[in-house]
A and B are shown apart, each in its own frame.
Chain A
């Protein structure tokens, strides 16, 4: 039973264009969301996050949008660069969870940015 879902296993975009990666969640108790980036043969690295009190967080070329009513978040990369080619994982956590806020990840979306 996947609480965090990334329905697109792959995405291909042209260099310079916008990349939009999507994520849906089912648990309304989640209140903190993160995106991780993973290159082959490496561990995932933290990219950007957003708490449920916000609907947008921006860091350079990366922006995360949160739609709580739809239980949906997205990661926008503008402009996309070939070095952004990687697998992107969405994760969700219940900060208020008194068990320590475990992170639940989605299946990942493989982004390919073509020159």
Chain B
């Protein structure tokens, strides 16, 4: 079975440019999360969707960040304009919710998109 698929795996861009990260969740999953990994804050939740609807975007750093989920099999995280402090690994994760059991809270991660803004 295919896991969560993220692209690109690596992106190097210049400050001020637009960056778009993409995610395909596991087929059948209806919750999708975007996380950012930093040394100071660990895995920081940016936004998550249930059934394609954004539920909580309180973790989105600022207006330069936006996320969409136009359908159940695709999501994007966009940074415009990008800044050097946005350099990090961005993870997408998915799960099926509600599963009816607490273990349904287990989420499955993609391999991440490594972003470097110079």
| B-binding residues in A (CB < 8 A) | 2, 6, 31-32, 34, 36, 41-46, 49, 51, 89, 91, 93, 95, 99-108
Contacts and interface: CB of A to CB of B under 8 A. Distances in A.
Please name the 9 residue pairs, one residue from A and one from B, whose CB atoms are nearest each other, closest first: A43-B109, A107-B42, A105-B43, A100-B50, A93-B105, A43-B111, A51-B102, A108-B42, A44-B109
B42 A102 contact: no
A46 B45 contact: no
A42 B111 contact: yes
Interface of B: 4, 31, 33, 35, 39-45, 48, 50, 55-56, 91, 93, 97-98, 102-103, 105-112
Contacts of A102: 33, 45, 48, 55-56
* Interface-central residue, B35, B48, B50, B102, by most chain A CB under 10 Å: B102
A80 to B, nearest CB: 22
Given A51-B102, A100-B31, A106-B42, A43 B112 contact: yes
A55 B57 CA distance: 32
